[in-house]
Structure 1
Amino acid sequence: MTDISATRLVVSRPVADSSARTRLGYLDGWRGLSIALVLIGHFFPVPGINLGIVGVEFFFVLSGRLMAEILFVEHYPLKKFFKRRFSRIYPALLVFVVAAMVALTGTFVAFKWKAALTALTFTYNYAGILVTRAGALDHIWSLCVEEHAYIILALISVVVSGRSRVIVLLGALSVLAMANGAISYWVLGIGYEGSYWRTDVHIASILLSAVICLLQADDRLPALLKGPHVALAASVVAVLLFMAAVPTPIHYLVAVPLLALAVNSLDFSSRYLTGFLSSRPMTMLGLWSYSLYLWQQPFYQFVDIQGSSAWLMLAAVFACALCSYYIVEKPARSWLNRNW
């Protein structure tokens, strides 16, 4: 998933650049944990729980926290915000889609330009349900949700004034999105993809985290939720609620709010949890997470459908992802940020 800088505001006034922000290693590590869960869920599945889905939710709640800080606390200039999002996201995505379309030609996961176009225009989460679907691009649905959230939250930051109004609006939209998902899945009988790939449903994960972040920024989060063990306890309970035996809507009505609380409570957590998340292996995984996210899907298809060696395919994922990060993602981002 995409990388919004894992930083936190360290001054009380609005700022316009990252110089007034301090990088928090445990948020990078949270991103690393997210991609680790996705990789484990796809290549070494644990019976009774889809850790790939859990990992995506870890990504979403982190994005909600960071977007809230950037857009509503720091009031980051929108022009610069979207330029940096583009430089971070699009070059690596474009290279992945084109390279995968060429490399997978003739295989069972080959896809054509129409599917590629929906990925590159961030419409795959709807097109994959209604028009055309490609297994090698199925993970792009979550990237689409995140990009749509950027636009919606940026628009709200311009149109709605006053932190309290923003919190109320985001909270109301979260409730509506969660209810929409539950009705789609339970009442209308629409399947998982048809219900939970949609932005009008899954944006709740991002918005809920944004709400909790803003409550914390205003010092309106109850003291009970600032304890040193809240983040760990909420995360563990949330993961347990994602067990296959638990009805799918409960994952999003109960477990996701707990994850949103967890990521926003990390600031108060014990040094054992933050130390683990800040460790070099976790932060490096976080650094590479977007490229790993992009490249894992085609190789996962070979493991899941053709029974290819999970270890061999995972090694290929890391090889492609590291090339993507160091040859495409990092240099393109640096060049565009300097020259655009």
Structure 2
Amino acid sequence: MTDISAASVVLPRAAADKEARARLAYLDGWRGLSIALVLIGHFFPVPGINLGVLGVEFFFVLSGRLMGEILFIERFPLKKFFKRRFSRIYPALLVFVIAAMVGLAGTYIAFKWKAALTALTFTYNYAGIFINRAGALDHIWSLCVEEHSYILLALISVMVTGRTNVVRLLVVLALLAMANGAISYGVLGMGYETTYWRTDVHIASILLSAAICLLKADGRLPAFLKSQHVALVAAATGVLLFSDPVPTPLHYTLAVPLLALAVNTLDFAGSALKGPLSSRPMVMLGLWSYSLYLWQQPFYKFVDERGSAPIPMLAAVFACALCSYYVIEKPARGWLNRNW
């Protein structure tokens, strides 16, 4: 899932394997950081910055990098690609939606069948704006954006030839999506969710990160961007630009490109950044991140809407998420990948 550098080719096999594991570790750590930001933002909000929103952007730019590597560099077969995406995402999602329907029926958190169906068909990010929504499923909007991006990037991978043409198209589409968001929110006065839940706006994060990934793979990143400090500086600046005093459209036109640059230049970063990301707690959070993402929302709603104590609710999130990961997500993914 990573590009092969000249350095890794000349390393002895054991050293190359170690480097590959380290690279995977810090990408898992980035995913762990993403879900940590979401959990902190929801259960222990920090004044002045929405860490939950920021965590979603960390997820998106990582997804853009990984999809760029898988679809355009490794040229992963699309049939196998979509099978693996399905096995990774759908079993845990299906169980979560069914459990939410059963567990939340009759509670103060309204649960609607239409909302459940749109979550399972990855249309919630539009249906939740214009038709029907349920608070326990509101986070599914971001999963919908991811799924739509898989389809678009897969189509581009088979319809557009030449890496340069692909990069140009990704950048143009990302800029159009950014402009769409700025106009919708800043000029037309649409609300935050009405604007930034939409794939035609929020896909910019994924597309831009994929474009930077391809530029890096082709050796076309400027030399100064390969400094060991670039990823840390870009990430820190991106976080600061996501603070509340900065107008919302600038979050998605200035901060997102910096986060996309940060995740793609992690390979050049020093141990001050890759070390913490590669630590076992961050890697484990990354492995559990999808189940944590699914299950945090209902318990967050109890905290946000009913004022429940955050620590017991967060403990319940981990309990449900770990059961989901070890009983549903991991076994289902392994079985489907072996037998489908």
TM-score of the alignment, normalized to the shorter chain, above 0.5: yes
Which residues in structure 2 correspond to 1:144-163 (within 5 Å)?
Answer: 144-163=144-163
User: Which residue is 1:109 aligned to?
Assistant: 109
Cα distance, 1:272 vs structure 2: 1.7
Q: Which deviations, in whole Å up to 9, do the C-alpha atoms of 1:61-116 show, x marking residues without a partner? A: 00000000000000000000000000000000000000011101111113121110
Task: Indicate the residue corresponding to 2:35 in structure 1.
Answer: 35
Over residues 140-182 of structure 1, what are the superposed CA-to-partner deviations in whole Å (9 max), with x where a residue is unaligned?
Answer: 0000000000000000000000000000000000000000000
Tell me the equivalent position of 1:235. Answer: 235
Instruction: Report the equivalent of 2:179.
Output: 179
CA–CA distance in structure 1, aligned partners of residues 287 and 278 of structure 2: 12
Counterpart in the other structure of 2:13: none
Q: Distance in 2 between matches of 1:204 and 1:43?
A: 28
Q: Is the 8 A contact 1:101 1:110 kept in 2?
A: no
2:327 — aligned with what?
327
Counterpart in the other structure of 1:310: 310
Question: In structure 1, what is the equivalent of residue 74 of structure 2?
Answer: 74
What's the TM-score, normalizing by structure 2?
Answer: 0.95
- Cα separation, partners in 2 of 1:336 and 1:11, compared to 1, 3 Å: farther
1:52 corresponds in structure 2 to 52
- Unpaired runs of 5+ residues, structure 2, are 7-16
Map of 2:4 onto structure 1: 10
Partner of 2:199: 199
1:308 partner SS: coil
**Counterpart residue type for residue 9 of structure 1:** D
Q: Which amino acid aligns with 1:278?
A: S
Structure 2 counterpart of 1:10, which letter?
A: I
C-alpha distance in 2 between matches for 1:74 and 1:243: 37
Specify the alignment match of 1:119 in structure 2. Answer: 119
Distance 2:89 2:109 in 1: 23
For 2:64 and 2:265, the matched residues in 1 are separated by 13
AA aligned opposite 1:81: F
| Cα distance in 1, alignment partners of residues 317 and 168 from structure 2 | 42
Are 1:10 and 1:22, in contact at CA under 8 Å, matched by a contact in 2? no
> What is the one-letter code of the residue matched to 1:326?
Y
Q: How does 1:63-102 map to 2 (within 5 A)?
A: 63-102=63-102
Cα distance in 1 for residues equivalent to 2:114 and 2:182: 31
Whole-Å Cα distance in 2 between the matches of residues 110 and 193 of structure 1? 19
Cα distance between partner residues in 1 of 2:133 and 2:186: 24
Aligned to 2:287: 287
Distance 1:11 1:220, change over 3 A: closer
* Residue aligned with 1:9, SS: coil
Matched residue type, 2:233: A
For 1:233, the aligned partner's letter is V
How far off its partner does 1:294 sit? 0.1
| Contact 1:64/1:207 (<8 A) preserved | yes
Tell me how far apart the structure 2 counterparts of residues 36 and 272 of structure 1 sit (CA, whole Å): 19
Find the aligned partners of 2:153 and 2:4 in 1 and give their Cα distance.
Answer: 22
Misfit runs of 4+, over 4 Å:
none
SS state at 2:2 partner = strand
The residue identity in structure 2 corresponding to 1:304 is: D
- Give, in angstroms, the shift of residue 11 of structure 1: 7.2
Work out whether residues 61 and 259 of structure 1, in 8 Å CA contact, stay in contact via their aligned partners in 2.
Answer: yes
- Relative to structure 1, is the Cα distance of residues 242 and 11 closer, same or farther in structure 2, using a 3 angstrom cutoff? closer
Q: Which runs of 5+ in 1 are unaligned?
A: 1-6, 13-19
| 1:37-58 deviation per Cα after TM superposition (whole angstroms, max 9, x unaligned) | 0000000000011000000000
Q: Which residue of 1 aligns with 2:9?
A: none
Distance in 1 (alpha carbons) for counterparts of 2:216 and 2:267: 10
Q: Distance in 2 between matches of 1:243 and 1:293?
A: 22
- The range that moved more, 21-30 or 103-112, is 21-30
Number of matched pairs = 327
Distance 2:41 2:211 in 1: 29
SS in 2 for 1:8: coil
Q: Return the letter of the residue paired with 1:55.
A: G
Distance 1:11 1:33 in 2: 26
> TM-score, normalising length from structure 1?
0.95
Say if 1:9 and 1:22, in contact at 8 Å, map to a contact too: no
Most deviating of 265-274 and 287-296? 265-274
CA contact (8 A) 1:125 1:145 kept: yes
**Alignment-derived partner of residue 253 in structure 1:** 253
Structure 1 residue 120: deviation in Å?
0.2
Distance 1:22 1:117 in 2: 40
Name the residue aligned to 2:14. none
